[in-house]
Amino acid sequence: MHINLVNSNNNKPSFGLKIDGRVAMDLCSEIYGRKLAQQMPSYVKHFETLKATGLNTSELYIAKSLKEDTFVLKNRSITTAYEKPLVKAEKGKLLEAWFKLKPEDIKDAEKMLQDVIDEKRNGLIEMAQNAIVRTMLYTKNNEKDIAKSVQKMDDDSVIELYYKAMDLVKKDI
């Protein structure tokens, strides 16, 4: 986990989850629309707590559908292929879902994203026992070391080759 230091004098770690501006706008609209202004200090405190959680490359946003809205975490430095839905909210109940969202949810989601991409990378390395998969990996980066070849790949390439390799390995069984 990468930690940025706020002040080199006191060495306190600084995290920095980015919270999409639309989240704040939607929550404030709901607070005032439902005449819950007394909830504003709690909302702000929770906002600051969540904002101080997780990696500074993670972002929290709202995915909207006709039936519900979902708080979603993404981290492009871990993977561009996956995002993690966190808490769902019925229409008009975004505030309730907001308060259900915990710092542990953010950390767990980041870990899950990292585990998924690591699983794919390690799986590719294991499948390199197959000659065709090994050749695919050698030619991808002109690298003769399988582990180095896989580490050089972006996550989209890893995922694409992982599923191609799975198909090849299944055919050989």
Tens digits of residue pLDDT in 6-41: 323 333 344 578 999 899 999 999 999 999 999 899
> What secondary structure does DSSP assign to 84-144, as a single string?
EEEEEEETT-HHHHHHH--HHHHHHHHHHHHHHHHHHHHHHHHHTTSHHHHHHHHHHHT-S
Q: What average pLDDT score do residues 48-69 get?
A: 93
Q: What pTM was computed for the model?
A: 0.80
For residue 154 the two structure tokens come to 């972006």
Using DSSP bridges, classify how beta strands 18-19 and 79-90 pair: parallel, antiparallel or unpaired: unpaired
Using DSSP bridges, classify how beta strands 68-75 and 58-64 pair: parallel, antiparallel or unpaired: antiparallel
Q: What average pLDDT score do residues 117-130 get?
A: 92
> What pLDDT, on the 0 to 100 scale, is given for residue 143?
79
Residue 109: which residues within 8 A CB-CB, separation 6 or more?
Answer: 58, 73, 84, 86
> What pLDDT, on the 0 to 100 scale, is given for residue 100?
96
Contact 1, 57 (CB under 8 A): no
**pLDDT classification of 172: cutoffs 50, 70, 90:** low
Tens digits of residue pLDDT in 92-103: 999 999 999 999
> What pLDDT, on the 0 to 100 scale, is given for residue 12?
36
H/E element, 60:
strand 58-64
Tens digits of residue pLDDT in 137-149: 888 778 788 888 8
**pLDDT classification of 173: cutoffs 50, 70, 90:** low
> 71: exposed, middle or buried (C-beta count within 10 Å: 0-12, 13-18, 19+)?
buried
Contact 79, 116 (CB under 8 A): yes
> What pLDDT, on the 0 to 100 scale, is given for residue 171?
72
> What pLDDT, on the 0 to 100 scale, is given for residue 115?
95
Among 52, 155, 48, CA closest to 107: 52
